[in-house]
Amino acid sequence: MKVFEAIKQKLDAAGIAYHVEHHEPTRTSEDAARIRGVALHSGAKAIVVTGEKTHTYTLFVMPADLRLDSKKVRALLGESVSFAQDVEAVTGCVPGSVPPFGSIIGLKTYVDQRLADNLEINFNAGSLTDSIRMRYDEYLRIEQPSVMDIVK
């Protein structure tokens, strides 16, 4: 099952309201926000990292206008990390299309606490041409990520 369909199935099964938008391909968070007509901060940017010692993959989600803080991540995970080079092989998604649902792609998920600044979040849902908008509190309820301070 494609990631996009798996997300919709998970949301539907939980009775969560969401909006799907099909659009031109977006390569950056800025492009996605512009096409969606929303604030960049409402974008749930998902980044896959790999531990340099354990080679364990982890998903970090943050507002799209912020950057992951490698020092905070190193302190959290107990090892240095690097951006995963094989994102598509690990997640089934091309870079830029990874959704904030580690539960669907088999990864532990950490979310930056600042994403809570948004009533609704927006994200690419497993493709560069499909986005989902949903309430942040519903995202927390269904995904149950660890909420931390992980950005600069």
Q: What's the CATH number where 126 sits?
A: 3.90.960.10
User: pLDDT tens across 32-59, in order?
Assistant: 999 999 999 999 999 999 999 999 999 9
Domain span at residue 141 reads 3-148
Q: Give the pLDDT confidence score for residue 75 in this predicted structure.
A: 96
User: pLDDT tens across 71-112, in order?
Assistant: 999 999 999 999 999 999 999 999 999 999 999 999 999 999
Nearest C-alpha neighbor of 45 from the set 123, 129, 137: 123
Structural domain count of the chain? 1
pLDDT at residue 24 tops 80: yes
